[in-house]
């Protein structure tokens, strides 16, 4: 996963790319409300912006990195830059099995046609939560996004999605370029939000790593915890890495 904000570019180039990203986010905000609250760019913190080639997540999931931000509202933008064929984009999924109390999870189809719902924490062997005899038993329903370059989809925190697996099943490669932007919404009237610093992504996603500088510490220099979570001072809206 390549972080798309940062690198060795000139400050001018980085600022130009950040301005383009601002324009994309501002356009998306016209379609977003959070509990009746209309958002501005200053309400947003971009903690991950990546560009990837290929259909690299052909399983139904909602994103694991939200595990690090348990009570913070968030959304993501998936912007199709280029694709070789009309297939190979993305499916949206829904199921009554998914609840608002679920932690990040994914639904994994087994060789016998069964489905395992697993806790999506990026561990080497993710913990099974529940099993189903089939996709129908899991209540999964799918909608294909027939996107064209320049199209952008806005996803809420728990939106189930996955890359189109059909090219992989046919043994074909997928020449597709997409940009993924994940955004935290700063809690209104608060100077801090809860954060779980144990997620693997803190080791290599630049803007997530940068949040560690803002985690509150005690007199001995150790991270403070409240109800089991660290507290991070909400940083100003910044882009700490640059589009590559």
Q: Is residue 128 part of a domain?
A: no
Place of tokens 């939106």: 159
Q: Is residue 160 part of a domain?
A: yes
pLDDT bracket for residue 17 (50, 70, 90)? confident
Q: Is residue 244 part of a domain?
A: no
pLDDT in tens, 102-123: 999 999 999 999 999 999 998 8
The answer to whether 51 and 177 have CB atoms below 8 angstroms apart is yes
Q: Give the number of domains in the chain.
A: 1
Amino acid 244: pLDDT: 32
Burial of 59 (0-12, 13-18, 19+ CB in 10 A): middle
Q: Which of 187, 177, 233 is nearest to 210 (CA)?
A: 233
**The pLDDT of residue 143 is above 50:** yes
Q: Which of 83, 64, 48 is nearest to 178 (CA)?
A: 83
pLDDT bracket for residue 1 (50, 70, 90)? very low
Amino acid 8: pLDDT: 58
Give the number of other Cβ atoms within 10 Å of residue 25's Cβ. Answer: 20
Q: Is residue 240 part of a domain?
A: no
Amino acid 237: pLDDT: 62
Residue that wins the pLDDT comparison between 135 and 213: 135
The upper half-sphere exposure of residue 62, i.e. CA atoms within 13 Å in the direction of its Cβ, equals: 21
Average pLDDT across the chain, whole number: 87
Amino acid 48: pLDDT: 85
Place of tokens 């728990």: 158
Q: Is residue 83 part of a domain?
A: yes
The answer to whether 155 and 87 have CB atoms below 8 angstroms apart is no
Q: What is the pTM of this model?
A: 0.85
**Spatial separation of the C-alpha atoms in residues 48 and 43, rounded to whole Å:** 16
Q: Is residue 47 part of a domain?
A: yes
pLDDT in tens, 175-214: 889 999 999 999 888 888 899 999 999 988 877 888 888 8
8-state DSSP, 210: H
**Dihedral (C-alpha) 32, 35, 37, 40: value to the nearest 10 degrees?**
-50
Write the CB contacts of 7 (distance below 8 Å, at least 6 apart in sequence): 14, 241, 242, 244
**The pLDDT of residue 243 is above 70:** no
**Tokens for 55?**
């259909």
Instruction: Average the pLDDT over each of 2-16, 22-36, 217-231 and give the range with the smallest value.
Output: 2-16
**The pLDDT of residue 88 is above 70:** no
Work out the average pLDDT over 162-174: 81
The answer to whether 64 and 120 have CB atoms below 8 angstroms apart is yes
**The pLDDT of residue 124 is above 90:** no
pLDDT bracket for residue 238 (50, 70, 90)? low
Strands (DSSP E) found in the chain:
33-34, 37-38, 44-53, 60-61, 74-83, 90-94, 105-109, 115-119, 128-132, 141-145, 152-156, 160-163, 176-185, 192-195, 225-226, 229-233
Q: Which domain holds residue 36?
A: 11-101+141-233
């Amino acid at each position: 996963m390549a972080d798309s904000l940062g690198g060795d570019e000139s400050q001018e180039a980085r600022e130009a790319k950040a301005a383009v990203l601002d324009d994309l986010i501002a356009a998306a905000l016209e379609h977003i409300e959070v509990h009746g609250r209309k958002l501005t760019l200053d309400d947003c913190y971009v903690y991950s912006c990546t560009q990837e080639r290929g259909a690299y997540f052909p399983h139904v999931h909602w994103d694991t990195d939200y595990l690090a931000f348990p009570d913070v509202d968030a959304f993501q933008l998936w912007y199709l830059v280029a694709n070789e064929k009309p297939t190979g984009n993305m499916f949206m999924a829904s199921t009554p099995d998914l609840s608002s109390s679920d932690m990040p999870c994914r639904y994994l189809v087994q060789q016998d046609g069964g489905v395992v719902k697993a806790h999506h924490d990026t561990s080497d062997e993710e913990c099974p939560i529940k099993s189903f005899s089939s996709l129908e038993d899991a209540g999964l329903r799918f909608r294909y996004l027939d996107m064209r370059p320049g199209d952008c989809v806005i996803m809420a925190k728990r939106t189930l999605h996955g890359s189109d697996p059909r090219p992989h099943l046919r043994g074909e490669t997928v020449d597709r370029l997409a940009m993924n932007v994940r955004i935290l919404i700063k809690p209104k009237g608060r100077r801090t939000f809860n954060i779980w610093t144990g997620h693997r992504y803190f080791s290599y996603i630049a803007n997530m790593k940068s949040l560690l500088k803002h985690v509150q510490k005690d007199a001995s220099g150790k991270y403070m915890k409240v109800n089991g979570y660290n507290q991070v001072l909400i940083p100003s809206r910044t882009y700490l890495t640059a589009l590559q």
